[in-house]
Amino acid sequence: MNKRTGRKRTAATGDQDQAPALRLEWRSPAELAVNPRNWRRHPEQQEAALAGVLSEVGWAGACLFNEATGLLIDGHLRQKVALANGADKIPVLVGRWTPDQEAKILATLDPIAGLATADPVALDQLLRDVTTSCEELQAVLDGLWADAQEGAVFDAAEAAPPELPDGDRSPFQQMTFTLHDSQAETVKAAIEKAKATGDFNGSPNENSNGNALARIAEAYLGQG
């Protein structure tokens, strides 16, 4: 606790009074020097996709610039696209960091963001509301959706019915359906959403996909 101000000091933020200032400015992309230690490389498809989204929605993010070293930390591709399109000014977050701190930000900023995982159901719902006239951006969206759906694909043999003595009738049934690709993706998304609503406590079935389908049917019939 800071006795003078009463502010609490935390490991995550340090002393708020001594935190370096971070301000938003509009600067010429030409004055933002490329960082020689930047390790990210941007293919042409990514550059075209970024140019496409900027043309459709404008600037919805900012570059990160270290005025102590005079170098960019984040936003090298945005600066490149801005220069190529003749942008006069672009949004830039400006701060001051030591060279060691700058190196740590360079090394971790994108990888930490990349640790996030996708909820395939939420992503599917979001992408239904997204349209674009940019082919490269559409390819990015299609790839994003496909990657997320890989985690939602279910295996019919996930949990086989238990073995029973000869002559006993199994209380389990296997059902097979033929679906169009678009229908299959809808079914997969519905199954994942049904699973997310809670455990299947009390069900004699060990197959979570079967339980999810039963839960969806019960909800449709008004039995849930």
Q: What angle do CA 36, 37, 39 make, to 5 degrees?
A: 115
Contact at 8 Å (CB) between 127 and 180?
A: no
- pTM of the full structure: 0.61
CATH ID of 18-114, from 3.40.1710, 2.40.50, 3.90.1530, 3.30.70: 3.90.1530
Residue 207 predicted with pLDDT over 70: yes
Mean pLDDT in residue range 100-110:
97
CA distance 201 to 198: 9
Mean pLDDT in residue range 42-62:
96
Strand partners, 24: 93
Which H/E stretch holds residue 50? helix 44-57
The proportion of the chain whose per-residue pLDDT surpasses 70, expressed as a percent, equals 78
Contact at 8 Å (CB) between 132 and 52?
A: yes
CA distance 102 to 70: 11
Strand partners, 63: 92
- For the chain, give the mean pLDDT: 83
Residue 155 predicted with pLDDT over 50: no
Q: Where are the domains of the chain?
A: 18-114, 155-163+172-224
What pLDDT is stored for residue 147 in this prediction?
Answer: 76
